Each structure stands twice: as C-alpha cells, then as structure tokens.
Chains A and B, each alone.
Chain A
Amino acid sequence: NAGVTQTPKFQVLKTGQSMTLQCAQDMNHEYMSWYRQDPGMGLRLIHYSVGAGITDQGEVPNGYNVSRSTTEDFPLRLLSAAPSQTSVYFCASSQLAGGYNEQFFGPGTRLTVL
C-alpha cells in the first residue's frame, strides 16, 4: 500500500492564480480531510469528507473548495490564491467504522503564494 499520497510536494503561485492539490489513498478509507499547518498555530481542519459525494467544512474553509467523486481521491482547490494561504497542506484519511481508527497523513504540500 502506498498509503496517503499528495502531489505536488512544492508549489509557488502568484496572487490570484488557481490550482488543485491532489490527495489519494489506497486503503479504502471512508473519511478524508485536509489540514493546513502554520507556525505557532498547529494543524487546522479545512474540509473533510465521510464518503464519496459528501463533503463538509472544517475550521478554516474560506478560499478552498473540495469534491469527492471517488473513495480514493479528495482534491483541494484554491480558486484565487492569496498570500494568507501560504502554508503546508496535509491530507489525512481513516476508516469510519469502529472506534480504534487512526488517522493516516500524507507527506504534505508546501505552498507559497507571492
């Protein structure tokens, strides 16, 4: 199993540009989520999904869009990038059934918006 994969690893955008961060998992996990990590602020939840066709907002959703057309993929879209979106983005997944369900994280995408 590859686990949770993310592409690209690094990206530089100009203000106003759009892009999609890709996330895929091969563990057949129902739950997938996106976090951003900023210095001194910990990881904060952007959007999450409990299955194909179902998404919801987390703590900091503004400026981001998601969709979940398959169990495996959960892309994060920046519609019009802003310098405040400079951050490291992590995708995570876990099973939903049962209680002992660890969350598994991808390697991250480091995004810089100029």
Chain B
Amino acid sequence: KQEVTQIPAALSVPEGENLVLNCSFTDSAIYNLQWFRQDPGKGLTSLLLIQSSQREQTSGRLNASLDKSSGRSTLYIAASQPGDSATYLCAVRPDFGNEKLTFGTGTRLTIIP
C-alpha cells in the first residue's frame, strides 16, 4: 500500500527566505505527483503537477522536483512572502487510468514578516 509522508509537519521561516518542502512515498511506481496548497478552512488549490517522466516543473516562484527512483519530491519556494503561509500537501497518482490519489498529511508553513 502506498504511503506518503511529509516532514516536517510544521515549518516557520522569516520572510524573504528560500525554502524546501519535502514529500516522500514508499512505492516508486507512480504516474504523477501533485502539490496542493490549503488555506485554513478552505479547499485545496493545485499548485504543480509533475509527471513521472519529468524531473521538474516550475510556476512562478515555485519549483517542484521529482526523483521517482528514490521516492522523493521537493517543493522549492523562492523569496517567501507572508501570503505563502498555508498548508502544503502532496499527493501521488498510481497509474494511467487510475485517478485515485494518496495524500500526505501536509506541512503547515508560516512565513514570519
């Protein structure tokens, strides 16, 4: 059974710093990995989707990398801002035609002004 882990569970950094969020998964046979952002009391907003054949995806200040063989993904946030404060979740999709996602429990990020 696929297990997805995100460590640390919470992270606080000063504004302006670059930071990395981690996601690890036990079964490397994934189709893609998706990073989401969740604000308190809100739904999930998709940030980046990275296919298993890709190494990186970028959107603005965000960069997601994937090392499928080692079962790891990172989300890099450049020049952090207070508006980046949220919980970040990663989720893996097992294979083509199977949309069922397995989620990590998230990292709660606080950017200190």
Contacts and interface: CB of A to CB of B under 8 A. Distances in A.
Interface of A: 4, 31, 33, 35, 40-45, 48, 50, 58, 90, 92, 94, 96, 99-108, 110
Contact of B31 (A43, A99, A102, A104): A99
Contacts of B45: 105
6 contacts: A43-B89, A90-B43, A101-B99, A103-B34, A106-B43, A108-B41
B25 to A, nearest CB: 12
Nearest to B3: A42
Given A42-B4, A43-B89, A99-B51, A105 B106 contact: no
A107 B43 contact: yes
A61 to B, nearest CB: 12
A61 B18 CA distance: 41
Contacts of B31: 99
Given A42-B105, A42-B106, A43-B89, A103 B46 contact: yes
Interface string B52-75: 000000000000000000000000
Contacts of B4: 42
A100 B51 contact: yes
